[in-house]
Structure formats: structure tokens, C-alpha cells
Structure 1
């Protein structure tokens, strides 16, 4: 009887421990998420709307926040189609690069968050820096960006 009680106790204990907290993501899933973001920026730098579109869901939200010159918080949303048009219409004479400086990725089941540090360079001169926060969903084995918000500033960059 004592053995049966002990076995039942350990089974309940194990069941409670394994049911707590989010489902830990393997490095493989984190790497898949990172690859989607790197592909997004590959399309961004190539000004290729087809590559960029391949990384996002049918409905994607783009937002930005930062401080204006007076120190007031600004927040705006941008239509994805206008974002694509603005990127693809940058003249060849303008050199731009968003250097990704850090990744922190969390995955739970079909949802992922990626906190990505960046520096933005325009014609080889530092323009601004901040964080891109991506939300992604795994649509039946394919990670897609559903939401992107970024911060922008000239100081206090995270590497």
C-alpha cells in the first residue's frame, strides 16, 4: 500500500511540475524565427517587396514610437502597403542599412516574440537606433510576422 501511495504521489507531483509554465522552445524553433526576421531585412535591404511579403501574415500591424525634439512621446501606425512603397521607392543613390545588433527570442507553441536591437545607417552615417519588437505566429509550420513595433532614438542604443 505504501508503494502504491508513493507512486501515486510522484505521478501527481510530476504531472503538476510538467504542466506549469510555457512550453519551452527548442533552439531549432528560435532559429526559425530568427531566419524569418533576417529574411525580412534581406528583402528590406534589397528593396524587394516579394521577399518582405513572404515573411508576413495577410494582416500585419506596423507601429513606431519615440520622442520628438521637445521630448514628447510620439506613436504612429503605418499601413503595410505604404511601408512597402516607401522602401521600394528609395533611389539607388541612397545607401541605407539596418544593422541588427542583438536578438532575444521567446517561443511558446504557435507564438513567438523577438526583441531585436538595431542601428540604422543612411549613406554610411549613423541615423538612429532602437529596438524592433516582432510578434510572429506559426501558421501550420510556417512562422509569419503579424506585428512589428520599433523604438527610435539617437542615444542609449542597446547592442
Structure 2
């Protein structure tokens, strides 16, 4: 009898505390909200909103292929991205349209795999995936890492 009660309690504890691939929809939505808030600030060119979603020392990277098909990879400073976005003149319109979300959560870590299309002056520029890594710091999700892919092939449905 004691073993079965212990087993029931253990299973309940693991189910409640171990998010894993079955994370609650609430946690997944909280992660999505952070990503959407980041892009809200991005589109409003508001550094305060963007920074509110970020942990200290965020790693920002990008990868793509050049015209010869060679893989490119670079690391940038998040502050450089924020400065470049906030300094875009009003005469230039831009939109990063988020096209899909796949979110996984495990305890204090989450990944948001987010498809996007980037539009510049209402013309398609490129598409890809943003992969966000987030950590839950005492109840608040923050972006710690962002890598994206960029390209033109296979972007828009015909």
C-alpha cells in the first residue's frame, strides 16, 4: 500500500513539475508572448520594448548561403541589431511577418522555432527561421539566444 501511494505521488510530482514535451499551453503561450513582444518592439522601432524581452549578454547569430552556395555564419551584438532597427528612417517600411510557431518547454528552458518572411518597402526580401532560446528567470521568460536562417528559395507559396 505504501509503495502504491508513493508511486502515485511521484507520478503526480513529475507530471506537474516536469514540463518536457507536454508543457502546458499556458507556458507555451507565455514563451510565444515574449517572442511576439520582441517583434512588437522591433516593428515599432522601440528599443525599450525589445530590451524588455532580453536577458543580459544575448547571443545573436545568423546563417545563410551566398550565391555560390557556401555557408555563411556570423555572430553580432544584440545592441547593433537594436540600433540598426531603431535608426531605420520613416521613409523605409519593413515587416517581419511571423508565419509559424513551434514551441518546446522544459522546466526553466524553452525553444521557439519561428518561421518568418521579411518585407522591405512592401516587397519580399527573404524568409527563414528564427530560433529563440529562452530561460525562465523566477517566473519571467527572457531571450538568451537567437539564431536565424535567411534565404529566398522555398519562401512564398506559388
Report the TM range for the smaller structure's normalisation.
Answer: 0.7 to 0.9
Match of 2:77 in 1: 79
Give yes or no for the alignment of 1:137 onto 2:135: yes
Distance in 1, Cα, partners of 2:4 & 2:29: 38
Distance in 1, Cα, partners of 2:82 & 2:25: 31
Distance in 1, Cα, partners of 2:40 & 2:19: 31
Correspondent of 1:69 among 62, 67, 70? 67
Per the normalisation by structure 2, the TM-score is 0.88
Match of 1:97 in 2: 95
State the superposition RMSD in angstroms. Answer: 2.3
Give yes or no for the alignment of 1:148 onto 2:146: yes
- Farther off after superposition, 41-50 or 20-29: 20-29
Distance in 2, Cα, partners of 1:36 & 1:22: 18
**Which is higher, the Rg of structure 1 or of structure 2?**
1
Change (3 A) 1:68 1:84: same
Distance in 2, Cα, partners of 1:14 & 1:28: 23
Post-superposition CA distance 1:106-150 (Å, at most 9, x none): 000000000000000000000000000000000000000000000
Number of equivalenced pairs = 154
- Farther off after superposition, 33-42 or 18-27: 18-27
Determine helix, strand or coil for the equivalent of 1:156.
coil
Per the normalisation by structure 1, the TM-score is 0.87
How far is 1:157 from its partner? 3.0
Match of 2:106 in 1: 108
Correspondent of 2:54 among 53, 56, 73? 56
In structure 1, runs of 5+ residues without a counterpart are none
- Farther off after superposition, 69-78 or 20-29: 20-29
Distance in 1, Cα, partners of 2:8 & 2:46: 53
